[in-house]
């Protein structure tokens, strides 16, 4: 195992020998307590100078890998524990299914690689040296300005760049707000039920406990919210995740009245608010009262979740605490990524990207609705024409849920039932129960969608 090191060019041979010996001990190939050959023997075996071996033994003895007793020999030390040899990948990925309808991912092949590379070149060419120092924890001023005007124009928010914090996705916005609310003495926060799988773990990591709150057809149901005693609530008003409803105008007004009455806070997660296929997107709730709503969004659905770039607009009264929290969490997001996004927005790249995705996703949603009607007749699709997923309610004959999921898995189709997003099971509906699925379509081509629904139909036909 040391022969390749002995064959290294003369100037690198000593280092290569030390490194090969170290690796052999670390990996356990040389077990603790093993006696090594004398430096004279090993040098002769490897065809290297004895001095090189002596030096390697001395260096590794000083580091603790080897132990030597003067005159009696050199042994592998006991202190070394073999570590993991390779980084494991814990990213949530497709299950290996032929067609994976689980929601949440955009089409990553639509990422604008060429425009992003061009932005990279232009930004690196003109960025002054000082811009590579520690950034303002709120984010680069040019990105906050670009985002403020983008969000005002596209989402109807009231965006003061001074109250805008660039962060690592909606996820970090939730964590930041969670810590600040907990620091202000809040113990519980209301969450939608069914709701986002992300909100609960993120907010509880900040020390808050969750109160699941039911929905009605207009949005979060007001009576349970009032009775809960919560003074903050996390919501997805533009396109409720996962049910796909949009909060009605009346419910938005009621929610704001509630927040004013309890001196509370509404957290608005606008995770996919850009994509609406039947009309212009409804503006964000925050635009109606920026002092009662903390608004958050990200590039995760429009560009790629792997960029981990998002934003949080906070009420002025919470701003300093949120910024301080962001500072102590990570001293701010990477400056280069922020400069890139600012450049991309300023040159119109972001608007172009949204138009491109909008066209593709509308076509895919239509393909899914048609495939369901053609191959799983009687299926009802609910939720507004928006975002990256639909809710499909399959007739009772396809159920019960466990059987359908097992059959789908057999056919190579990955599905997510609505029940996976529910904390409190809903009261049984009258008549046949049916099976409700949250079907993601944005990441699938129309032919994948058709294939997946056909496979499902074939496996469930009896
Ligand atoms: C409803 C909802 N909110 C928040 C997130 C997390 O978003 P981000 O990638 O911006 O942190 C997700 C992720 O899929 C989501 O579905």
Are both 143 and 276 inside the same structural domain? yes
Domain end marker among 300, 328, 347: 347
Are both 396 and 369 inside the same structural domain? yes
Residue 29: which CATH number?
1.10.10.10
Identify which of 237, 222, 15 has the alpha carbon closest to the alpha carbon of residue 6. 15
Q: Across residues 291-306, what is the average pLDDT?
A: 98
Q: Across residues 251-276, what is the average pLDDT?
A: 97
CA dihedral 223, 226, 229, 230 (to 10 degrees): 100
CB distance 138 to 319 below 8 Å: no
Residue 236 CA, closest ligand 1 atom number: 1
Are both 447 and 317 inside the same structural domain? no
Find all residues with CB under 8 Å of 339, minimum gap 6, and list them: 123, 127, 131, 140, 142, 143
In a domain, 264, yes or no: yes
SS (H, E, C) 69-135: ECCCEEEECCCCCCCCCCCCCCCCCCCCCCEECCCCCCCHHHCCHHHHHHHHHHHHHHCCHHHHCCC
Q: Across residues 433-451, what is the average pLDDT?
A: 95
Distance 300 CA to ligand 1 centre (A): 7
The pLDDT of residue 3 is: 84
Distance 76 CA to ligand 1 centre (A): 50
Distance 299 CA to ligand 1 centre (A): 10
Residue 300 CA, closest ligand 1 atom number: 9
CB distance 342 to 149 below 8 Å: no
Distance 102 CA to ligand 1 centre (A): 14
- Residues of the domain holding 58: 3-76
In a domain, 279, yes or no: yes
Q: Which of 300, 308, 421 to mutate to test the pocket of ligand 1 (most atoms within 8 A of CB)?
A: 300
Are both 314 and 450 inside the same structural domain? no
Are both 342 and 363 inside the same structural domain? no
Tokens of 280: 């212009």
Please give the helix or strand (H or E) that residue 394 lies within, else none: strand 389-394
Residue 173 CA, closest ligand 1 atom number: 11
Residue 446: which CATH number?
3.90.1150.10
Q: Which residue puts its alpha carbon closest to atom 13 of ligand 1?
A: 104
Tokens of 295: 């608004």
Q: Across residues 442-453, what is the average pLDDT?
A: 97
Identify which of 352, 426, 444, 448 has the alpha carbon closest to the alpha carbon of residue 389. 444
The pLDDT of residue 205 is: 96
In a domain, 85, yes or no: no
Strand partners, 417: 437
In a domain, 86, yes or no: no
The pLDDT of residue 84 is: 63
Strand partners, 440: 389
Are both 17 and 130 inside the same structural domain? no
Longest dimension (CA), the chain: 89
The pLDDT of residue 180 is: 98
Are both 126 and 72 inside the same structural domain? no
**Mean pLDDT rounded to a whole number for the chain:** 94
Integer Cα distance of 211 and 193 in angstroms: 9
In a domain, 93, yes or no: no
- pLDDT at 204 exceeding the cut of 80: yes
Sheet holding 188-193, edge to edge: 164-167, 310-313, 293-298, 265-269, 232-235, 188-193, 209-216, 219-220
- pLDDT at 428 exceeding the cut of 70: no
Radius of gyration of the chain (CA): 29
- pLDDT at 88 exceeding the cut of 90: no
Residue 297 CA, closest ligand 1 atom number: 10
CB distance 292 to 315 below 8 Å: yes
Domain end marker among 323, 347, 371: 347
Q: Which of 61-65, 67-71, 93-97, 228-232 has the lowest mean pLDDT?
A: 93-97
Strand partners, 296: 269, 312
- pLDDT at 280 exceeding the cut of 80: yes
Distance 196 CA to ligand 1 centre (A): 8
Strand partners, 392: 381, 437
Q: Which of 106, 192, 271 to mutate to test the pocket of ligand 1 (most atoms within 8 A of CB)?
A: 271
Residue whose structure tokens are 């960025």: 127
Are both 149 and 36 inside the same structural domain? no
At 346, the pLDDT band (50, 70, 90 cuts) reads very high
Protein residues with CB under 6 Å of any ligand 1 atom? 104, 169-171, 196, 198, 236, 241, 269, 271, 298, 300, 305, 310
Q: Across residues 123-139, what is the average pLDDT?
A: 94
Helix, coil or strand: residue 348:
coil
At 91, the pLDDT band (50, 70, 90 cuts) reads confident
Distance 24 CA to ligand 1 centre (A): 44
Handedness of CA 218, 224, 226, 228 (dihedral sign): negative
Residue 241 CA, closest ligand 1 atom number: 1
CB distance 252 to 219 below 8 Å: yes
In a domain, 88, yes or no: no
Q: How many CA atoms lie within 13 A of 434 on its CB side?
A: 17
Domain end marker among 319, 347, 375: 347
Tokens of 263: 């001196």
Are both 334 and 371 inside the same structural domain? no
Q: Which residue puts its alpha carbon closest to atom 3 of ligand 1?
A: 271
Q: Which of 165, 175, 198 to mutate to test the pocket of ligand 1 (most atoms within 8 A of CB)?
A: 198
In a domain, 120, yes or no: yes
Helix, coil or strand: residue 212:
strand
Each residue of 365-404: pLDDT tens digit? 999 999 999 999 999 999 999 999 999 999 989 989 999 9
Distance 224 CA to ligand 1 centre (A): 25
Q: Across residues 395-420, what is the average pLDDT?
A: 93
Residue 339: which CATH number?
3.40.640.10
Q: Which of 170, 242, 389 to mutate to test the pocket of ligand 1 (most atoms within 8 A of CB)?
A: 170
Are both 365 and 330 inside the same structural domain? no
Q: Across residues 421-443, what is the average pLDDT?
A: 82
Q: How many domains does the chain have?
A: 3
Q: Which of 92, 103, 166, 169 to mutate to test the pocket of ligand 1 (most atoms within 8 A of CB)?
A: 169
The pLDDT of residue 93 is: 66
Distance 419 CA to ligand 1 centre (A): 18
- pLDDT at 198 exceeding the cut of 90: yes
- Could you give the C-alpha distances from 108 to 112, 278, 299, in angstroms and in order? 9, 24, 12
Are both 369 and 333 inside the same structural domain? no
- pLDDT at 68 exceeding the cut of 80: yes
Distance 154 CA to ligand 1 centre (A): 19
Distance 83 CA to ligand 1 centre (A): 33
Q: Assess whether the previous peptide bond of 400 is cis (omega < 30° from 0).
A: yes
Handedness of CA 444, 247, 245, 192 (dihedral sign): positive
Residue 296 CA, closest ligand 1 atom number: 10
CB distance 248 to 286 below 8 Å: no
Distance 440 CA to ligand 1 centre (A): 14
- Could you give the C-alpha distances from 223 to 193, 214, 231, in angstroms and in order? 14, 10, 14
At 82, the pLDDT band (50, 70, 90 cuts) reads low
Are both 356 and 336 inside the same structural domain? no
Distance 304 CA to ligand 1 centre (A): 11
In a domain, 22, yes or no: yes
The pLDDT of residue 432 is: 55
């Amino acid at each position: 195992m040391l022969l390749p090191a002995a064959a290294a060019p003369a100037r690198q041979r000593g280092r290569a020998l030390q490194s090969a010996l170290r690796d052999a001990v670390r990996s356990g190939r040389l077990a603790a307590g093993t006696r090594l050959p004398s430096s004279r023997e090993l040098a002769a075996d490897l065809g290297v100078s004895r001095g090189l071996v002596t030096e390697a033994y001395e260096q590794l003895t000083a580091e603790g890998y080897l132990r030597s007793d003067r005159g009696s020999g050199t042994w592998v030390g006991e202190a070394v524990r073999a570590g993991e040899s390779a980084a494991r990948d814990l990213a949530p990925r497709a299950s290996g299914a032929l067609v994976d309808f689980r929601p949440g991912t955009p089409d990553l092949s639509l990422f604008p690689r060429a425009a992003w590379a061009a932005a990279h070149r232009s930004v690196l060419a003109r960025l002054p040296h000082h811009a590579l120092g520690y950034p303002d924890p709120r984010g680069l001023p040019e990105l906050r300005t670009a985002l403020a005007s983008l969000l005002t124009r596209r989402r109807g928010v009231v965006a003061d760049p001074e109250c805008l914090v660039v962060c690592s996705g909606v996820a970090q916005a939730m964590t930041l707000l969670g810590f600040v609310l907990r620091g202000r003495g809040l113990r519980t926060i209301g969450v939608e039920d069914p709701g986002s799988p992300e909100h609960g773990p993120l907010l509880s990591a900040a020390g808050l406990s969750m109160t699941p709150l039911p929905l009605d057809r207009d949005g979060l149901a007001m009576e349970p919210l009032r009775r809960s005693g919560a003074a903050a609530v996390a919501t997805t008003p533009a396109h409720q995740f996962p049910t796909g409803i949009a909060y009605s105008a009346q419910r938005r007004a009621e929610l704001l009245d509630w927040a004013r009455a309890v001196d509370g806070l509404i957290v608005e997660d606008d995770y996919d608010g850009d994509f609406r296929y039947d009309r212009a997107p409804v503006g964000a709730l925050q635009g109606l009262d920026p002092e009662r709503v903390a608004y958050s969004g990200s590039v995760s659905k429009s560009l790629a979740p792997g960029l981990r770039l998002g934003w949080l607009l906070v009420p002025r009264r919470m701003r300093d605490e949120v910024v301080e929290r962001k500072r102590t969490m990570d001293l701010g997001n990477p400056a280069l990524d922020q400069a890139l996004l600012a450049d991309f927005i300023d040159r119109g790249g972001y608007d172009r990207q949204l138009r491109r995705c909008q066209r593709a996703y509308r076509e895919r949603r239509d393909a899914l609705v048609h495939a369901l009607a053609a191959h799983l007749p009687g299926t009802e699709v609910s939720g507004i024409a928006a975002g990256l997923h639909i809710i499909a309610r399959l007739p009772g004959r396809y159920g019960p849920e466990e059987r359908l999921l097992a059959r789908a898995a057999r056919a190579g189709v990955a599905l997510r039932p609505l029940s996976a997003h529910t904390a409190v099971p809903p009261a049984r509906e009258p008549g046949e129960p049916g099976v409700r699925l949250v079907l993601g379509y944005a990441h699938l081509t129309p032919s994948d969608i058709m294939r997946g629904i056909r496979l499902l139909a074939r496996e469930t036909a009896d």
